[in-house]
Structure 1
Amino acid sequence: MNIHHLLSGTSGLDIPDEDVQRIFQSRDEVHEYYEQRARQAKLVGVPGTPDTAHAEAEVTISALIMEAVAGTTYWDYVQENIFKRCGMTGSAFYTRPQWLTDKHIAHPYMKLADGSVVDALRNLDKGSPYPYVLGKNPGRAFIDAPGDGGFATARDLVRFAHALSDGTVLDRPWADVLTAAKIPHGPASFGAYGIAIDIINGQWMFQRAGGNPGVGANWSIYPDTGWVGVILSNRDSDGVGRQDMIGQEMQAITGASPGEGSGG
């Protein structure tokens, strides 16, 4: 196994289930917990074989390697070398105390099993009923795990997309290495380093999505036309979901109907 396997989601690693009930109280506590989880990772598959179920171990270990090389924490490195360099003034790895006191930071509104919706950050005793995040509450984290996401505005994510294409983040050849197709997932769908890429109606689309109870995000780059799509939400879906909105965005930009694959 090597770094390519970690970044492309093909390491074959797995780790025990996360303790979603734990409430963290410091950056150091968060870092120690996820570092220990990474050390518990075991090889359960053949490196080079796609398996997105092992994403947490791969992301955390990659962040720990970065910390060892840079001599600083993942959070501080990204703040200095990504957010600051790209002019992402509204983006940061905020802590729970900052989240609670800064009125500019959106709170996650989480749906409970009885259908009611609560501010997850102010109800740490409540958890999500959805099977893929069962019992989880994003407010229990003091800060995002090393290698994981942070807080960002839509405007800042557009700034990052432009910085990726103009050489601000990476020299152009290395940006191409980051976004190049690595692993085939379908006739016109591939895995790259941390992003999914697709050929939609004859043009490339780079995409990164994520979510938590009460939190949803999707960021898409259409490099052939220069369009950037950002979808952010702070409430569990009622009716139109994130996939529906992504489909509408994709149709508006590429002309392809939702569900369509590649085109000539």
Structure 2
Amino acid sequence: MATPSRRSVLGLLGVAPVAALAAGPALATQGSGRLPGTLRPGGELDRLVADRAARDQFSGSLLLTNRGRTVLARSYGMADLGRDVKNGPGTAFALASVTKLFTATAVAQLVRQGKVSHNGTLGTYVDGVPDALRDITVHHLLTHTSGLGDYHGMPGFREESATWTSAAQVMSGITGYVLRSTPMFAPGAGWAYSNSGYHLLGEIVARASGTPYHDYVREHVFAAAGMTGADFVTKPRWLTDRNVAHPYRRDEQGRWTDTVAEFGFVGTPAGEAFATAADLDRFARLLYRERLVDGPATHLMLSGKVPPGPPPGGGNPPPPSGRPAWTVFQCYGPQGTLLGGQWSYGHTGGNPAGIATAVEFFPDSDWVLVVLTNHADTPMREIVETARGLITGT
């Protein structure tokens, strides 16, 4: 197993030497050599996903690429049971918290333009911030160290949010709830996964750019990356577009039940953008190749800041038994994981109503893994762990 250099470890901690910052986060891609058979069609990963699909435990798409070339691409199950529409390469899935990567990228772009500062406090960019939240910075929001939690669980939110019928109502309505929330701890005093924090980052993107959040991401992330199947899909379109997968969970009789009605009008900076597997593969590759944000800014985004706590149903999972331990740091958006001498970066997302998603990329060896599903109880951890172990040889 390769041992990471002192420079690479310092870089992940966000204290890399100036020379390393200028070079970006070790993004020079290396030739992968001969691709392992375990990752090719018919290999261990392919057999695992096929087996879970045969057991009705996987419905969705998996895409694995190396140096921009497809190594394994599979789609299983139904995008819309009611209309007998199958999942396929062109199916867009709700991404849940993977959306946070787009929000973090938008923030990185605006930081590079001098419109946002990581040290800037919330009140610098958002009006009406109460004293209890005044010391929260952009850095705290990006790293889940703000002390803010999840607006979804606040009293009255579910009922009121069901009445919103525009993106502007969704954004202002959620902001109102977040600004009335009570932090769990002082900024920087702990780590707690925060949908509320990432929503506020979306507000900062809108205020600093002068463009509504959804429009900014559509233009400067989706269009800039050539993500032609990505969008913030409204609920009316979700119900009618045959290219958009519906989420499902089992009812008390064990039957799959469509849950689109349980979601809000449109996705937010914290979750529920939509994309195909190919869209996410392209986004990840352009991100670590410094095409969406330039080199120093990409390095800053992908360098570790704090060790995260246990994520509630998301984030990178702990190492499986029988495999070497890995080191995890929270970066500005993704989490970075060191395993087998390689850093990987990624994010997962999920919702008990039937969404499970993951994207993970390995800049040094130029692998990208995307797993998008529309069934509850998908064994996402098993799939991601297996792929990660096979890619890193651990």
* Aligned-residue CA RMSD (Å): 1.8
Of residues 3, 6, 9, the one that matches 2:144 is: 9
Contact 1:91–1:153 (8 Å) recurs in 2: yes
1:163 aligned residue (263, 286, 291):
286
Please point out which of 182, 185, 196 is paired with 1:57: 196
Match among 207, 210, 220 for residue 346 of structure 2: 207
Q: Give the CA deviation at 1:116.
A: 2.6
Tell whether the 8 Å contact from 1:34 to 1:145 is kept in structure 2 after alignment.
no
In the superposition, the TM-score normalised over structure 2's length comes to 0.57
Q: For 2:304 and 2:250, how far apart are their aligned partners in 1? A: 37
| 25-34 or 12-21, which deviates more | 12-21
Cross-structure match for 1:217: 357
How far is 1:43 from its partner? 2.9
Q: CA deviation at 1:42?
A: 2.6
Contact 2:201 2:269 in 1 (8 A): no
Deviation at 1:166, TM superposition (A): 2.4
Give runs of aligned pairs for residues 111-260 of structure 1, distance below 5 A: 111-121=250-260, 124=261, 137-138=262-263, 141-185=264-308, 188-212=327-351, 213-237=353-377, 241-256=379-394
More displaced 10-residue stretch of structure 1: 27-36 or 69-78: 27-36
Whole-angstrom CA distance in 2 between matches of 1:60 and 1:149: 12
Quick one: which of 204, 207, 218 aligns to 1:68? 207
Task: Identify if the C-alpha distance between structure 1 residues 230 and 252 changes in structure 2 by more than 3 Å, giving closer, same or farther.
Answer: same
1:159-207 Cα deviation digits (max 9, x unpaired) = 1112112222100110110010100248711111121111011110111
1:42 matched to 2:182: yes
**Cα 1:195/1:33, change in 2 over 3 Å:** same
Task: Give the Cα separation in 1 of the matches to 2:274 and 2:226.
Answer: 14
Q: Distance in 2 between matches of 1:51 and 1:36?
A: 23
TM-aligned CA deviation for residue 229 of structure 1 = 0.4
Residue-by-residue CA offset, 1:91-132 (whole Å, 9 max, x unaligned): 0001011111210111111223443321112xx3xxxxxxxx
**1:234 aligned partner, one-letter code:** N
The TM-score, its normalising length taken from structure 1, stands at 0.84
Using the alignment, how far apart are the partners of 1:85 and 1:27 within structure 2? 22
Distance in 1 separating the partners of 2:343 and 2:189 = 24
Q: Secondary structure at the match of 2:347?
A: strand
Contact conserved, 2:191 with 2:308, CA < 8 A, in 1?
A: no
State the SS of the aligned residue for 2:158.
coil
Give how far 1:216 is off.
0.9
Instruction: Please report how far the alpha carbon of residue 15 of structure 1 lies from its aligned counterpart in structure 2 after TM superposition.
Output: 5.9
Partners of 1:89 and 1:15 in 2: CA distance:
30
Paired residue total? 237
Q: Larger Cα Rg: Structure 1 or Structure 2?
A: 2
1:90 equivalent to 2:225? Answer no
SS in 1 for 2:219: helix
Distance 1:94-1:188 versus aligned 2 partners, 3 A rule: same
Query: What amino acid sits opposite 2:367 in the alignment?
Result: W
The gaps in structure 1 that reach 5 residues or longer are 125-136, 257-264
SS of 2:389's equivalent in the other structure is helix
Choose between structure 1 and 2 for higher RCO, CA contacts under 8 A separated by at least 6 residues: 2
1:15–1:41: 8 Å Cα contact kept in structure 2? no
* Distance in 1 of aligned mates of 2:386 and 2:359: 14
Q: Residue 35 of structure 1: SS of its match in structure 2?
A: helix
Kept in 2: contact 1:15–1:42 (CA 8 A): no
SS of the residue corresponding to residue 368 of structure 2 reads strand
* 8 Å contact from structure 1 (residues 15, 40) kept in 2: no
The question of whether the paired residues in 2 share the 8 Å contact of 1:188 and 1:199 is answered with yes
User: What is the alpha-carbon distance in structure 1 between the residues aligned to residue 392 and residue 272 of structure 2?
Assistant: 28
Query: Whole-Å Cα distance in 1 between the matches of residues 391 and 150 of structure 2?
Result: 39
